[in-house]
């Protein structure tokens, strides 16, 4: 047998395999490092004053130094986002079911649904503050409102577009309307609903932070405003970093869970 060339395919593929497993993680790490490097370069070369753009090192220092404060406010914002998601998803599912089950109701609910999307959340935020106070409730409602439309439309579309063959089959098995909904329509709607949930998870933090900006006494949005007013830009960036980290991990966790739970396509 001739000696193996180190550049044959088998040698290459053996090398490629372990790289593939950690590739997405590695890719993420590289992206972060590159961004940090560019950031640091901008700070050095353009001689940015720290109240305009603090260096990554300064932000990291703040992250460690003010960890207790950041954790406290992050916890508040997390609660708002998660509760908002819960409320928005429940409302969306409920609305979609109502529109599906009571056809005439759809004509009445649809304008409300569209209005909920057409009025900017920013515009109703002060009113929500007024009614629900500076606490967590107004932010939860805000996050729920902002995801309400995508969730409802996805859910309704999914429920409505059950393949007719499935419904025929259920009917020949003399399934009732409720049984068909429970065992055929709902599971068949899940892949569409999952894309609604993915959108909701990305958008919900916007609602919560906007709510905190308009009026609050705690939360990462509140912390950012306070830090901004006191020219503590490094602390603002630290809060922003936590918020981004939370939103991104929430998305990836949700995405992985949904992918595992809903493995089929129609």
Contact footprint for another protein (CB under 8 A):
163, 165-166, 168-175, 179-180, 182-184, 187-188, 190, 262-266
Shortest Å, Cβ 162 to another protein: 11
Residue 50 per-residue DSSP state: T
Q: Report the alpha-carbon distance of residue 73 to residue 77 in Å, rounded.
A: 6
Closer CB to another protein, 135 or 183, in the complex: 183
Closer CB to another protein, 69 or 190, in the complex: 190
Shortest Å, Cβ 266 to another protein: 7
Shortest Å, Cβ 260 to another protein: 13
At residue 219, φ and ψ (nearest 5 deg) are 115, 160
Decide: helix, strand or coil at residue 255.
helix
Shortest Å, Cβ 165 to another protein: 5
Closer CB to another protein, 182 or 230, in the complex: 182
Q: Report the alpha-carbon distance of residue 214 to residue 100 in Å, rounded.
A: 36
Closer CB to another protein, 10 or 172, in the complex: 172
Shortest Å, Cβ 189 to another protein: 11
Closer CB to another protein, 177 or 230, in the complex: 177
**Range list of H helices, the chain:** 9-21, 23-45, 56-65, 67-101, 103-118, 121-132, 136-160, 164-172, 177-180, 186-214, 220-229, 233-261
Q: Report the alpha-carbon distance of residue 124 to residue 37 in Å, rounded.
A: 40
């Amino acid at each position: 047998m001739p000696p193996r060339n180190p550049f044959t395919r088998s040698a290459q593929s053996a090398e490629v395999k372990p790289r593939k497993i950690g590739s997405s993680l590695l890719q993420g790490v590289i992206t972060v490092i590159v961004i940090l490097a560019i950031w640091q370069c901008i700070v050095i070369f353009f001689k940015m004053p720290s109240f305009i753009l603090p260096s990554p090192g300064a932000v990291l220092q703040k992250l460690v130094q003010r960890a207790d404060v950041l954790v406290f406010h992050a916890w508040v914002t997390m609660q708002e986002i998660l509760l908002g998601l819960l409320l928005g998803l429940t409302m969306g599912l409920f609305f979609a079911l109502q529109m599906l089950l009571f056809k005439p109701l759809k004509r009445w609910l649809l304008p409300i649904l569209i209005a909920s999307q057409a009025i900017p959340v920013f515009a109703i935020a002060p009113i929500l503050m007024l009614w629900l106070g500076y606490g967590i409730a107004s932010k939860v409602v805000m996050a729920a409102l902002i995801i309400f439309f995508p969730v409802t439309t996805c859910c309704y579309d999914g429920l409505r577009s059950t393949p007719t063959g499935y419904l025929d089959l259920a009917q020949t098995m003399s399934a009732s309307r409720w049984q068909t909904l429970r065992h055929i329509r709902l599971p068949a709607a899940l892949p569409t609903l999952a894309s609604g949930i993915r959108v909701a998870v990305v958008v919900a933090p916007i609602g919560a932070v906007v709510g905190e900006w308009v009026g609050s006494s705690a939360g990462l949005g509140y912390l950012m405003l306070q830090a901004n007013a006191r020219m503590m830009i490094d602390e603002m960036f630290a809060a922003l970093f936590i918020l981004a980290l939370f939103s991104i991990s929430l998305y990836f966790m949700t995405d992985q869970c949904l992918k595992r739970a809903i493995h089929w396509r129609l």
